[in-house]
Amino acid sequence: MIYYKTFIHQEEKEWVVLIHGAGGSSSIWYKQIRAYKEHFHVLLVDLRGHGKSNTNKTERKYTFIDVSKDVLDVMDVLHIEKAHFVGISLGTIIINTLHDIAPERIHCMILGGAVTRLTFIAKFLLTLGDKCKYILPYMWIYQLAAWAIMPRKRHKKSRILFIKEAKKLCQKEFIRWFKLIKEIDIVHKKTQYNKRDIPKLYIMGEEDYMFLPPVEKIVKNNQTASLAVIKRAGHVCNVDMPVEFNEVSLSFLKEKTKKQPSATY
């Protein structure tokens, strides 16, 4: 089972599950934990092969469904029937997959720095990485991607944090996740056709040049989705502007808590 950590609130009964992105770990939420645990039970997970979770050596290939079921396994162990989900970057793909395979486990979804489809630049980086993944050190590829996604000076903290966590991955694990990224467009298409009425909030940095435009188009055509854009923030907006991210996300969570029945635990 993947590594997890909980913070238990003495009075509240609802859970918030925080899911990091590829190459990261649950440490990416260090600016959110204190604020969130004042209002909810909080569950942190390290996705397989990341942080303190072991690599699954028996599998040659991962799927988003496999990784999403890891999260459900933890929820089952903790007897969490239903939860609010907050994700960042590729973690939003995991949440969207859960939305597809286990919607009954979700109160609402907060998608930070959401990856909804592969842009031209993203596809170029994937093609370049695919041709070089067995030749160049994987960290060279990851650092190039980090600079492309978080290019500005004020994104430096986010870049350093993601690169630091990515160094903990082994080459084989990196390649598994690298191949998995190619399935993003498939997950996005399933989500677009999914008509389930689950509240969804996108939180994006105004400087998230690669992923903000697709999200703006999605929100225009989705009545259950809303968008909050944080100024002076890039792709990893929860690290770039944590106070603003916490205010927006907690406001949304509290609003949805009032409208939803409490989860059992």
Confidence at residue 145, expressed as pLDDT on a 0 to 100 scale = 72
Q: Which residue has the tokens 């084989």?
A: 172
pLDDT tens figures, 148-183? 677 677 777 777 777 676 666 666 676 676 667 667
Residue 264 pLDDT > 50, yes or no?
no
User: pTM to 2 decimals?
Assistant: 0.85
Instruction: Give the chain's end-to-end CA distance (angstroms, integer).
Output: 19
Both tokens of 243, joined, read 């106070």
The domain segmentation of the chain, as residue ranges, is 4-259
Confidence at residue 35, expressed as pLDDT on a 0 to 100 scale = 97
Confidence at residue 156, expressed as pLDDT on a 0 to 100 scale = 76
pLDDT tens figures, 78-114? 999 999 999 999 999 999 999 999 999 999 999 999 9
Residue 243 pLDDT > 70, yes or no?
yes
For residue 107, which of 36, 28, 175, 200 has the smallest C-alpha distance? 200
**Domain 4-259 falls under CATH 3.40.50.1820:** yes
Q: Which residue has the tokens 């990416």?
A: 28
Q: Which residue has the tokens 């060279």?
A: 140
Alpha-carbon distance of 231 to 228, in angstroms, equals 10
Residue 195 pLDDT > 60, yes or no?
no
